[in-house]
Structure 1
Amino acid sequence: MTRILLAGATGLVGRAVLQRALASPRVSRLVAPTRRPLPAQAGLLNPVVDFDALPADADWWQVDAVICALGTTIRDAGSKDAFRRVDHAYPLDVARHAQAHGARTYGLVSAMGADPTSRIFYSRTKGELERDLQACGFDSLTFVRPGLLGGERPQRRTGEWLASLALNALDPVLPLRYRVVPAERVADVLLAAVLTASPGTRIIESGEIR
């Protein structure tokens, strides 16, 4: 039985992870810190937090594994600095707090093209997070790098929606790595990765997720 902390439970992938983790007989405890309360569910511990000031001594950090599905866009965040805070600082803070309380496994929703040397700010930020998480020293670390995610968001991102329509139409002829990846499949891969907790660092590229 595994105790899991889920960061990003209100997002597209996070909501799918939440449902699957609560239904899994292999998960003994699910902690999902959020800014606003989630609907109460059996087996769910939902601390309401400020991600800019996470409580370092909270006992709910005592988990075996972390799944991080935190993420935004520069447009939604409002600036590059705000984007980097959500997509780099928050996941790293969560990692360090959970690890300090015993977590040895971490699974991250990263992105296709993540590279700390990239000239593209988005890809560079994702790559820097992967690099910095590796420096934390988790026993088991998994980076899932989907391309465009498929699924219904609470608020539609027009650009992603239009791109998704185009890619879905071209799906039969596209290489696997460029096809739309269902958020539910990413959730399945992440949950399986942290429950298995294979030693070392594993990178799962978009074409491997289907």
Structure 2
Amino acid sequence: MKRKDKTAIILGATGLTGGLLLDRLLHDERYEKIKLFSRSSVKISNPKIEEHLIDLLKLEEHKANFTADEVFCCIGTTKKKTPDNEIYKKIDYGIPVAAAKVAKSNGVNTFIVISALGASAKSTVFYNKVKGEMEDAVLEQKFPKVFILQPSLIGGERLEKRTGEWIFKKVMKVVDLVLVGSLKKYRTIAPETIAEAMIWLANNEYAQTKIESDKIKALGQ
């Protein structure tokens, strides 16, 4: 019998993928409570939601409330939004790793985080290197159940204007058509698909820990 009293934590529910994930969890009868940790409110009134408006860089100070069955980490910024490398790393590395450490110490069983295709601690590309170091630090916590999603370019329309990204997405719609075989993992992926895959992984067994974009797409369809 499937549980209908689960509690989930979402980090990044005000973002594109996190917002879609929240919407799906609110309509999923398996979840009784959704705890949101963010700087700003999602402005949704729902009895399932428990909002904690905090400074995510000081997550450890809110350890007492960081309890759940599952943590979904959808935190991420961009170089344009956060040009300072030090601040960038505090967000893309610091927040997910702090969340993993607090979750593990609180006995959370499942941790699912969005990384990026090409992430590697050995990469010479700063963005990929930070993501790779984050992945390694999360895995060091040795959760009973942990999944690291590595999507390619995420499609969809964001609230904030990202002109360069918008143009690139238009180009990728054409490029996607020729990405076949082993190159399929580089195709643009819909944020809805990522959200669906995260929920599926939280409620099922899956052999792999690091999941590249094409496999995320298969899980989320």
Whether TM-score is above 0.5 comes out as: yes
Structure 1 portions without partners, runs of 5+: none
Larger relative contact order (C-alpha < 8 A, sep ≥ 6)?
1
Q: Are 1:63 and 2:68 counterparts?
A: yes
Q: Are 1:26 and 2:34 counterparts?
A: no
| Contact 2:152–2:213 (8 Å) recurs in 1 | yes
Q: Which region of structure 1 is more displaced relative to structure 2, 20-29 or 118-127? A: 20-29
Q: Are 1:169 and 2:177 counterparts?
A: no
From 166, 172, 180, the equivalent of 2:188 is 180
How many residue pairs get aligned? The number is 209
Task: In structure 2, give the amino acid aligned to 1:25.
Answer: E
Q: Which region of structure 1 is more displaced relative to structure 2, 110-119 or 31-40? A: 31-40
Task: In structure 2, give the amino acid aligned to 1:109.
Answer: I
| Distance in 2 of aligned mates of 1:100 and 1:126 | 22
| Distance in 2 of aligned mates of 1:208 and 1:163 | 23
Structure 2 portions without partners, runs of 5+: none
| Contact 1:56–1:97 (8 Å) recurs in 2 | no
In structure 2, what is the equivalent of residue 205 of structure 1? 212
Task: Give per-residue Cα distances to partners, 1:37-82, cap 9 Å, x unaligned.
Answer: 2212230111110112225455431101110000001220131111
In structure 2, what is the equivalent of residue 36 of structure 1? 40
Q: How does 1:38-187 map to 2 (within 5 A)?
A: 38-39=42-43, 40-56=45-61, 58-175=63-180, 176-187=184-195
| Distance in 1 of aligned mates of 2:207 and 2:147 | 8
State the identity as a percent: 28
In structure 1, what is the equivalent of residue 13 of structure 2? 9
| Distance in 2 of aligned mates of 1:57 and 1:160 | 34
| Distance in 1 of aligned mates of 2:62 and 2:163 | 40
1:199–1:183 CA distance, 2 compared to 1 (3 A):
closer
Q: Following TM superposition, by how much is the alpha carbon of 1:208 offset from its aligned partner in structure 2, in angstroms?
A: 1.5
Q: Following TM superposition, by how much is the alpha carbon of 1:199 offset from its aligned partner in structure 2, in angstroms?
A: 7.5
RMSD over aligned CA atoms reads 1.6
Task: In structure 2, give the amino acid aligned to 1:160.
Answer: E
| Distance in 1 of aligned mates of 2:207 and 2:98 | 21
